[in-house]
């Protein structure tokens, strides 16, 4: 196992951009974890004069917003929200996608037809409109935003899983398992899935980036959880002040962009490292 | 050919039916019904009046009957009545739809023109400074949230430079005739369309570059060169046409996302389209309107997807042969 891990790390490290992305992701995770220690008190608390520009007052390195809240503290706590929603939504999407895709390819026939129609349905519904509807109906809570984002992002994972399963389903080792009398579930998840997983993992890591963008759009529109600090909401709140204090919008936007960028780079790096065949394309 | 078109269009019907059922289920999952919201907003408390209204809106009937009635009425293009605008839902949506369509089409045009130009340029000058710059820009625009790009563009081009209006679709109180009006709308359209389109431009640039490079290696390109065709003709007519297919696929898959993205962009630029309408309806829990936007939005995407599939037949004659 160890030599394989080292080999994997070496292949990942060959992609310089991916290493930079990984460092950025680690930095964001670090900030998210350290937020309660750096800023022990509620980040949504008013701490100073409103609209202090960044780098002016050393107490507020990123300035204060229209209410006099510390932007740096809100960014640090926003990282928690963003990463949590991104990760959970991606896990939700991956679970739904793998289940649907695996069942469709393994059983084939009318089950395949039904499940693929179902997938097509979710591809047709305009995704952000669907997220907004779910959040509007169920309520503005972190869990519901997460589920909503997961529910609209699983379709590519299902299609990819299905394609992978289709190519593996009739291989000799699967036939051997069948001949041994293994149950369908065990063959699907114990034998085929581990072989189909690498490209699916790459796609899931890219889904995290997409989920972060979705979450920021939802909270930008003011439909996110009002009780937690979020990058998107900070932009939405700062929108009214763009004539005088445009930094309130600029700072959290840069945070979103860098995080998504880093996640995308890591996804590309994983792709290179896990699918070495495709690397030279 | 006509049979293919009809068969493709027939596939839309079950999709739209499923969307209707799905949304109906969602609405009935909601805590607090549409009826509660409606009556509380208009402050109706008289029990007799409430019963009367319950009967008028059919809320007193079993869920199955309500669903059947809803499907039947959507089939006749009756999406219900919006108590907020005091007009049929369909009329309100149709009033706002053109603005959203203009925005979407403009954004797609921006994405295609910028993305394809950048992709072709990068593939022709592969591994030069141009290629690297384009790839870098693509990576950045792929990661930037469109609403944030929009706000930053407003800060730069509207507030600081004063080149473009901050928002809206028309200058209020000016009448320049038809051509002047069109120019005015286009002037208002530049920033929102660019903000929405740049994300997709980034995707198209990456895909275009990859697929161009793929096609460049094929034998028929060597033949075209050997025939003595000019470099520009080989690139534009032979390679680009074949490299275009992945872009068309992608465009078809992304139409729903573009419609969703325009909701956010409309809110940034106070563009009077479906997005603003949906946002207002979601905020006021105006469920008939939310349902209507979802159904019509899905229908729009389904029809556009069918159109994309048919465009395939034109672009690639090999598909027809199958």
Say what the alpha-carbon torsion angle A118, A120, A124, A125 is, to the nearest 10 degrees: 20
- The pLDDT assigned to A279 comes to 45
B247-266 confidence digits (pLDDT tens): 887 887 788 888 888 888 88
DSSP string, B112-152: HHHHHHHHHHHHHTTTSHHHHHHHHHHHHHHHS-HHHHHHH
Q: Which of B22, B31, B152 sits opposite A250 (nearest CB)?
A: B152
Residue B93's closest CA among B272, B261, B283?
A: B272
3-state secondary structure labels for all residues of B32-100: CCHHHHHHHHCCCCCHHHHHHHHHHHCCCCCHHHHHHHHHHHHHCCCCCEECCCCEEHHHHHHHHHHHH
- CA angle, residues B199, A66, B165, in degrees to nearest 5: 45
Q: Does A253 touch chain B (CB under 8 A)?
A: yes
B125-142 confidence digits (pLDDT tens): 877 888 888 888 888 888
Confidence of residue B16 (pLDDT cuts 50, 70, 90): confident
Percent of chain B whose predicted confidence (pLDDT) is above 70? 89
Q: Does B155 touch chain A (CB under 8 A)?
A: yes
Give yes or no for a contact between B114 and B201, defined as CB atoms under 8 angstroms apart.
yes
Q: Which of A127, A253, A265 sits opposite B256 (nearest CB)?
A: A127
- The pLDDT assigned to B294 comes to 84
Q: Are strands B87-88 and B81-82 parallel, antiparallel or unpaired?
A: antiparallel
Backbone angles phi, psi at B87, to 5 degrees: -155, 160
Interface test with B, best of A82, A119, A137, A248 (most B CBs within 10 A): A137
Q: Which of the listed ranges B81-95, B161-175, B290-304 does the model predict with the highest average pLDDT?
A: B290-304
Q: Does B260 touch chain A (CB under 8 A)?
A: yes
The pLDDT of B134-162, averaged and rounded, is 84
Residues 28-47 of chain B whose Cβ lies under 8 A from any Cβ of chain A? 29-31
Minimal C-alpha gap between A45 and chain B (Å): 25
- The pLDDT assigned to A94 comes to 92
Entry pTM:
0.83
Is pLDDT above 70 for B73? yes
B192-242 confidence digits (pLDDT tens): 888 888 989 988 888 888 888 888 888 888 888 888 888 788 887 778 887
Q: Which of B14, B27, B282 sits opposite A132 (nearest CB)?
A: B282
Q: Does B253 touch chain A (CB under 8 A)?
A: yes
The pLDDT of B108-112, averaged and rounded, is 90
ipTM: 0.83
d(C-alpha B120, C-alpha B122), whole Å: 5
B49-59 confidence digits (pLDDT tens): 777 777 766 66
Helix pair A71-107, A16-38: axis angle to 10 deg = 130
Q: Does B294 touch chain A (CB under 8 A)?
A: yes
Q: Does B15 touch chain A (CB under 8 A)?
A: yes
All residues of chain A having their beta carbon less than 8 Å from the beta carbon of residue B23 are 133
8 Å CB contact of A124 and B256:
yes
B269-295 confidence digits (pLDDT tens): 888 888 888 888 887 777 778 878 888
Residues 135-174 of chain A whose Cβ lies under 8 A from any Cβ of chain B? 135-139
Is pLDDT above 50 for B322? no
8 Å CB contact of A127 and B23:
no
Is pLDDT above 80 for B168? no
d(C-alpha B271, C-alpha B64), whole Å: 38
Q: Which of A127, A220, A242 sits opposite B147 (nearest CB)?
A: A220
Helix pair A193-220, A155-168: axis angle to 10 deg = 170
Interface test with A, best of B15, B148, B294 (most A CBs within 10 A): B148
Q: Which of the listed ranges A38-47, B106-115, B154-163, B286-295 does the model predict with the highest average pLDDT?
A: B106-115
All residues of chain B having their beta carbon less than 8 Å from the beta carbon of residue A265 are 139
- The pLDDT assigned to B42 comes to 67
- The pLDDT assigned to A56 comes to 67
Half-sphere exposure of A211 (CA within 13 A, CB side): 32
- What does each C-alpha distance from A111 to A106, A122, A151, A177, A275 come to in angstroms? 9, 17, 20, 22, 30
d(C-alpha B24, C-alpha B27), whole Å: 5
- All structural domains of chain A: 2-278 (1.10.3720.10)
d(C-alpha A101, C-alpha A95), whole Å: 10
Has domain B97-273 been given CATH number 3.40.640.10? no
Backbone angles phi, psi at B313, to 5 degrees: -60, -40
Backbone angles phi, psi at B158, to 5 degrees: -100, -50
For the stretch A10-27, what's the b/e string if a residue is b when 16 or more beta carbons lie within 10 angstroms of its beta carbon? Answer: ebbeebebbeebbebbee
Structure tokens at B273: 């389209």
8 Å CB contact of A123 and B256:
yes
Question: Which positions of chain A have pLDDT values less than 50?
Answer: 279-281
Is pLDDT above 80 for B3? no
All residues of chain B having their beta carbon less than 8 Å from the beta carbon of residue A268 are none
Residue A239 gets which letter from DSSP?
G
């Amino acid at each position: 196992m160890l030599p394989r891990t080292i080999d994997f790390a070496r292949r990942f490290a060959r992609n310089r951009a991916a290493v930079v992305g990984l460092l950025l992701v680690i930095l964001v995770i670090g900030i998210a974890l350290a937020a309660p220690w750096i800023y022990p008190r509620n980040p949504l608390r008013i701490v100073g004069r409103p609209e202090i520009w960044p780098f002016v007052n050393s107490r507020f390195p990123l300035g204060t917003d229209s209410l006099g809240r510390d932007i740096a503290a809100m960014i640090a706590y926003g990282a928690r929200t963003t990463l949590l929603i991104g990760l959970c939504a991606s896990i939700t999407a991956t679970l739904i996608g793998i289940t649907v895709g695996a069942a469709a390819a393994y059983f084939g026939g009318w089950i395949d037809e039904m499940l693929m129609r179902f997938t097509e349905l979710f591809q047709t519904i305009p995704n952000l409109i669907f997220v907004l509807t779910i959040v509007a109906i169920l309520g503005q809570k972190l869990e519901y935003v997460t589920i909503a984002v997961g529910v609209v992002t699983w379709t590519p994972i299902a299609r990819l899983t299905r394609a992978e399963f289709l190519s593996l389903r009739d291989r000799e080792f699967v036939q051997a398992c069948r001949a041994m009398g293994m149950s369908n579930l065990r063959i699907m998840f114990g034998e085929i899935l581990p072989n189909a997983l690498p490209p699916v993992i790459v796609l899931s890591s890219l889904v995290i980036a997409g989920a972060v963008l979705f979450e920021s759009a939802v909270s930008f529109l003011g439909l996110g959880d009002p009780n937690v600090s979020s990058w998107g909401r900070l932009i939405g709140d700062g929108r009214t002040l763009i004539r005088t204090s445009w930094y309130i919008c600029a700072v959290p936007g840069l945070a979103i962009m860098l995080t998504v960028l880093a996640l995308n780079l890591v996804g590309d790096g994983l792709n290179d490292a896990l699918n070495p065949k495709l690397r030279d394309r | 050919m006509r049979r293919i078109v009809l068969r493709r269009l027939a596939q839309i019907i079950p999709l739209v039916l499923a969307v209707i059922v799905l949304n109906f289920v969602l609405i009935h999952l909601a805590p607090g019904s549409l009826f509660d919201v409606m009556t509380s907003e208009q402050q109706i408390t008289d029990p007799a009046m409430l019963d009367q209204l319950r009967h008028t809106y059919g809320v007193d009937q079993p869920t199955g009957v309500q669903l059947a009635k809803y499907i039947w009425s959507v089939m006749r293009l009756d999406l219900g009545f919006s108590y907020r605008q005091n007009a049929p839902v369909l009329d309100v949506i149709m009033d706002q739809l053109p603005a959203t369509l203009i925005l979407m089409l403009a954004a797609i045009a921006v994405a295609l023109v910028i993305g394809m130009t950048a992709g072709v340029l990068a593939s022709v000058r592969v591994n030069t400074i141009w290629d690297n710059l384009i790839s870098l820009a693509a990576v950045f625009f792929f990661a930037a949230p469109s609403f944030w790009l929009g706000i930053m563009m407003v800060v730069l081009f509207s507030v600081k430079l004063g080149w473009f209006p901050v928002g809206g679709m028309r200058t209020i109180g000016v009448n320049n005739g038809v051509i002047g009006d069109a120019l005015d709308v286009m002037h208002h359209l530049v920033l929102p369309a660019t903000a929405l389109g740049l994300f997709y431009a980034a995707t198209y640039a990456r895909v275009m570059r990859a697929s161009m490079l793929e096609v460049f290696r094929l034998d028929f390109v060597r033949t075209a060169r050997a025939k003595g065709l000019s470099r520009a003709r080989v690139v534009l007519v032979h390679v680009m046409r074949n490299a275009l297919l992945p872009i068309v696929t992608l465009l078809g898959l992304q139409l729903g996302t573009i419609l969703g993205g325009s909701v956010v962009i409309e809110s940034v630029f106070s563009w009077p389209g479906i997005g603003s309408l949906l946002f207002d309806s979601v905020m006021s829990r105006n469920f008939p309107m939310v349902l209507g936007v979802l159904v019509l939005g899905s229908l729009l995407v389904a029809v556009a997807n069918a159109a994309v599939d048919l465009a395939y037949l034109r672009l690639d004659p090999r598909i027809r042969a199958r």
